[in-house]
Structure 1
Amino acid sequence: MKVTGSAIIEDGQLMLTGFSTSEGPDLHVYLAKGMEVSKGIEISKIDLKKMEQTFDVSKADIADYDTILIYCQKAHVIFGAAMLQ
């Protein structure tokens, strides 16, 4: 599995740019603590075909999380991760 691109959180928006991923049946973006999906929150389902995607994260306390995960809910597999800075 492979995910590429950049992830930035700014003004309550999570922006994925230059995004591409291996195909999966049910991919979602999460804010998480480390690589633990169970300690994270689901933000949205992702579009496999869009290189630029934006999601509202204004209701999340970003300080509680340090990682953005691309996670397949059906297979219970992490496809990719990016550390928040």
Structure 2
Amino acid sequence: MTAKRFQMSRKKISIIAAVLVVVLAVALFVFKPWLLFIDKNVEDQLPAALSSQTSTQSTPSTGDAMERTDKMMAENAAQHRQGTFISHEHQTSGKVDLIVDADGKKKLVLSNLSTSNGPDVHVWLSKGPVVEGQAGWFVAKDHEHFDVAPIKGNQGNQVYTLPDNINFSDWKSVTLWCEAFNVSFGAAELS
């Protein structure tokens, strides 16, 4: 009887072990915990339009030049929005700019980005506000958003081309959204 009991226990242990191995494999596949320890640095070339934003704000010496500069500044303001990232689920910092480059292409630019690596993180334009702290972790999912692209990396400078029909003034924020966990890594309010 004890031999049969031992054999039954051994069979149960084998089944339990097999189930645990499958559960562990699925968990590793879904959660990808190793990504927290791996940084992916991206260094896209920043558009010249970013540096020209400051040069157009110099003070002209004549009335006509002032008028032209005021007009250029108004046009640039309509075609340039920016924000600074705050942290949500993961420590996040950096700057975001929405610009129109010299070729007339609309771009979303992440500069000096630093956040955690994670599974399935995307760059979103969002119509939702940026809320600080834990209360802001899930705000973006409750508002209309445009999924720009999967994030290229969690460190550095990144440039994304936007569709021509994107109107910068329609969007309140940029969010780094983790699709796998439905949570914001960080967000930047646009102004």
Task: Give me the TM-score of the superposition, normalised by structure 2.
Answer: 0.42
2:120 to 26, 29, 50: 26
Q: Partner of 2:144 in structure 1? A: 39
- Mean CA deviation greater in 58-67 or 68-77: 58-67
Shift of 1:48: 2.3
TM-score (norm 1): 0.89
The match for 2:172 is 66
User: 1:68·1:84 contact (CA, 8 Å) conserved in 2?
Assistant: yes
Higher relative contact order (CA 8 A, sep 6+): 1
Match of 1:78 in 2: 184
Q: Which has the higher strand share?
A: 1
Offset, 1:59: 3.3
Which ranges in structure 2 are unaligned for 5 or more consecutive residues?
1-89, 101-105, 129-138
Compute the RMSD of aligned alpha carbons.
1.4
The correspondence for 1:48, drawn from 139, 146, 153, is 153
The structure number with the bigger radius of gyration is: 2
How many residue pairs match? The answer is 85
Q: Structure 1 residues 4-13 or 41-50, which shifts more?
A: 41-50
Distance change (3 Å), C-alpha of 1:49 and 1:32: closer
- The superposition leaves residues 20-56 of structure 1 with CA deviations (integer Å, 9 ceiling, x where unpaired) of 1112111100000124234101001112254010011
Please tell me whether the aligned partners of residues 68 and 83 of structure 1 are also in contact (alpha carbons under 8 angstroms): yes
Q: Is the 8 A contact 1:20 1:48 kept in 2?
A: no
What is aligned with 2:95?
6
Give 4+ residue runs of structure 1 displaced > 6 Å after superposition: none
